[in-house]
Amino acid sequence: MSVLAAEDGEFDAVHHTADAYYLDFLPIGKVELPRIFILRSESDGYGLRVFRSTKNALQSNEFAAKFETDTTIYVTEDSLHTLISEGKHLDAKLIPINDQSAIILDLSMTKHLVFALLASGILLAIFVQLANRYKRGIGRTSAPRGLVQNLFETLVIFVRDDIAVPNLGKQHYQRFLPYLLTAFFFILTCNLLGLVPFGATATSNLNITAVLAAFTFVLTQTNGSKDHWRHVFWPPGMPVLVKILLIPTEIMGLFTKPIALAIRLFANLTAGHLVILSLIGMIFTFTNLFGEAVGYGVVPISLGFTLFVMCLEVLIAFIQAYIFTILSALFIGMAIAEHSHSEAH
């Protein structure tokens, strides 16, 4: 079998970009992640079941595997064994064998969660150490020293002076700066982790970007000034009829902003990865269609484009972190702003 005929001649970019219950260290192998379920059964009530891996969960005889593409339910040990040996069990949906119990919540670890945790760990390691440097006086009473301190200080000052202060104002920015810094560096680290070998992009998961956007939403609404709410529920300075038309729009506007935040980040990061994987996939597609010689011929073109898109991805990693943060600052800034209504709108 040729080296170019990977995965039975199929190369599925979407599958690689999507979340999974394992870490892919191809070609070394896969590491299955723990499965955690909160179950409820008629007889036992609520229960927590933790398994070391999907394989363990299936072998425990508590769960059956099911695929969305067909209706077959793999229950018997033999069928499960075949599934596991083929490595297909990782893509299966797990359903309790016992009819009486149901999965209330699937708290299983996923690839993207692992990388989000990794990003958090990296951030804590870097910035707590950096903070200790400042506490020792380096950078506080003396000039900052070293590449790490200078690099991150530049970014911190950038977030403070170019994102927080202009959008939130001098009096309020300090209250929101920790969130903006955390969001910026978390998104940036997640984005960049997707570009390292064996890495995955947590921010190319809509669930994760939605959580981040939800934080902005909650911060925006809980800190909204009286003016902010008056604008939503009784927009000043216009006829009552227009007000009635405007109120639903304003209420929708409250939600469209964070939704746009979530989708923008998700779509940008997903698209970048899909493009990279598709360019790589061109090699296999061409091999399948026209034979191995053409496949090898496509390699330099494909890798050249991949390199170019990779560079673009690094840029996008920074740009999207910046855009998410500055829009969050802008939304919060708009909500906390208090202004007189004599102003034109």
CB 203 within 8 A of CB 187: yes
Give the nearest distance from C-beta 36 to another protein in angstroms: 8
Give the nearest distance from C-beta 239 to another protein in angstroms: 41
Give the nearest distance from C-beta 235 to another protein in angstroms: 33
- To the nearest 10°, report the CA torsion of 140, 141, 143, 145: -60
Nearer to another protein, 115 or 286 (CB): 115
Give the nearest distance from C-beta 35 to another protein in angstroms: 10
Residues 6+ away with beta carbon under 8 Å from 93: 65, 66, 67, 68
Nearer to another protein, 204 or 302 (CB): 204
Which residue ranges make up the site for another protein (CB under 8 A)?
A: 12, 14-15, 17-19, 36, 68-69, 105-110, 112-113, 116-117, 120, 123-124, 127-128, 130-132, 134-135, 139-141, 153, 156-157, 160, 174, 177-179, 181-182, 186, 205-208, 210-212, 214-215, 270
Phi and psi, residue 253, nearest 5° = -60, -35
Give the nearest distance from C-beta 180 to another protein in angstroms: 10
HEC string for 130-154: HHHHHHHCCCCCCCCCCHHHHHHHH
Nearer to another protein, 128 or 289 (CB): 128
Angle at 312 between CA 307 and CA 317, to 5 degrees: 125
The amino acid at residue 250 is: E
Nearer to another protein, 35 or 231 (CB): 35
Kindly provide the residue ranges of all beta strands, DSSP E only, lying in the chain, ordered along the sequence. Answer: 22-25, 29-32, 35-41, 45-51, 63-66, 73-74, 93-96, 101-106
Nearer to another protein, 120 or 288 (CB): 120
Give the nearest distance from C-beta 22 to another protein in angstroms: 14
How many other β-carbons are positioned within 10 Å of the β-carbon of residue 127?
15
Write down the number of H helices and E strands in the chain. 11, 8
Nearer to another protein, 107 or 254 (CB): 107
Distance (Å, whole) CA 292 – CA 15:
24
Give the nearest distance from C-beta 250 to another protein in angstroms: 27
Nearer to another protein, 214 or 299 (CB): 214
